Structure 1
Amino acid sequence: MIKLKENNNFYVITGGPGVGKTTLLEKLKKTNYEIVPEIARELIKEQQNNNGKALPWRNKNLYKEMMFDRSIRSFEEIENNTNKEKPIFFDRGFLDAICYAKLIGSKISERMKSYAENWRYNKNVFMLPPWREIYETDNERKQDWEEVILTFEKMSETYKSYDYKIIEIPKKPISERARFVLEFIEQNRIKNTNAQQ
């Protein structure tokens, strides 16, 4: 049995590929917030450099397993080694690996489900919608536009199925997107504080 862990200061920022997620996280980092880099992108780069098989276009299932395991490890390391008084922003969460499993029609193990049910990020998950004007492919991002839309839909569905609330970030300049995230968190904190008094 996986022990319950609730981390209200752990915020996931997610969405389909190429929607400005990493740019937003870099902006938050510049304003002195801790960010946790995207596991999937790091894994792809590593596998390409080492001629590995855990790539979405070589061995989807191995890629899914490694992405999930590394996301769990990352969650645990941050939990054990970080001052959790300020928000910490994750460039995707381990539920993204579950979403990927759904996209490729791969089995979602009981272990994966158990982590998703018991290791919790903040219930509000920030999601960036598909944005055609800024979408570009590169060496690690090879999805076409239809996949971008499908990923966004599946991502919303996956997080909601584990009782998360989707907070959609508007299609605006990066400084406004960062302000939207930080203002939402602050307003939510004030609301929760008032509710407890």
Structure 2
Amino acid sequence: MRRFILTGTPGSGKTTLLEELARRGLDVVREAATDVIGRRQAAGEPQPWERADFVDEVAAVQRARASAEPRTAVGALRFHDRSPVCTEALRIFLGRPASPGLSAELDRIEAEAVYRREVFFVRGLGFVERTAARRISLADALAFERLHEEVYRARGYRLIDVPAAAVAARADLVEEAVRRIAAEG
């Protein structure tokens, strides 16, 4: 299976882009951190990202979702809203020490070549809409975006820029890039 990552700053439109790719019949995997935060907040934890085990919990959900069976007929191709590399960027952004669970997952995805080396980097829209799970300022979101770039590049991934645009244009760009990558072998 060819697994592609969509990453970028919070509020950049990754989820909307993922929904458009799903509407087009492609297999997609939702972001894990937002769901972990939502589940913990529903259980009465207002800021679950402060938990010592937060990044490991996110990495575990990401692993489970990545290994799930495809849900569409185009099962040889899957798009992930974030990856454990994003979770590593989050760990650094939060100022947390390296954790055994996340470190093991990062080692595993490299050893097993789980994700394609080409990563779709979805650029911000110039604002951040705050939600219960997304409480980041635009300035911090831009710093987080730069950190994502650094972490992915340091791990040898090639970033494919997805500039701010209408969602259909972004989805067209992603699909065209995947066709080009497939043609290159």
Shared fold by TM > 0.5? yes
By how many angstroms is 1:83 displaced? 7.0
The yes-or-no answer on 1:169 pairing with 2:159 is no
Aligned counterpart, 1:141: 134
By how many angstroms is 1:106 displaced? 1.4
TM-score between both structures, scaled by the size of structure 1: 0.83
Cα pair distance change 1:48/1:85, threshold 3 Å? closer
Higher Rg: 1
Aligned counterpart, 1:129: 123
* 1:71 corresponds to which of 50, 58, 62: 62
Distance, in Å, in 2 between the alignment partners of 1:152 and 1:159 is: 11
By how many angstroms is 1:114 displaced? 1.6
Please state whether the residue corresponding to 2:48 is helix, strand or coil. Answer: coil
Please state whether the residue corresponding to 2:180 is helix, strand or coil. Answer: helix
Please state whether the residue corresponding to 1:34 is helix, strand or coil. Answer: strand
Cα pair distance change 1:65/1:53, threshold 3 Å? farther
Distance, in Å, in 1 between the alignment partners of 2:132 and 2:29 is: 21
Aligned counterpart, 2:77: 87
By how many angstroms is 1:151 displaced? 1.1
The yes-or-no answer on 1:154 pairing with 2:144 is no
Aligned counterpart, 2:36: 43
Please state whether the residue corresponding to 2:39 is helix, strand or coil. Answer: helix
Q: Write the letter of the residue equivalent to 1:64.
A: V
Distance, in Å, in 1 between the alignment partners of 2:162 and 2:28 is: 17
Give 5+ residue unaligned stretches, structure 2.
none
Q: Write the letter of the residue equivalent to 2:54.
A: Y
Aligned length: 181
Q: Write the letter of the residue equivalent to 1:132.
A: G
Cα pair distance change 1:13/1:163, threshold 3 Å? same
By how many angstroms is 1:86 displaced? 3.5
* 1:65-94: CA deviation from partner (whole Å, max 9, x where unpaired): 111111122222248x88775321111112
Larger CA deviation: 95-104 vs 116-125: 116-125
Q: RMSD over aligned Cα, in angstroms?
A: 2.1
Percentage of matched positions with identical amino acids: 20
Could you tell me whether the CA contact under 8 Å between 1:124 and 1:165 is conserved in 2?
yes
Q: Write the letter of the residue equivalent to 1:122.
A: R
TM-score between both structures, scaled by the size of structure 2: 0.88
Larger CA deviation: 143-152 vs 84-93: 84-93
Q: Write the letter of the residue equivalent to 2:124.
A: P
Distance, in Å, in 2 between the alignment partners of 1:98 and 1:179 is: 29
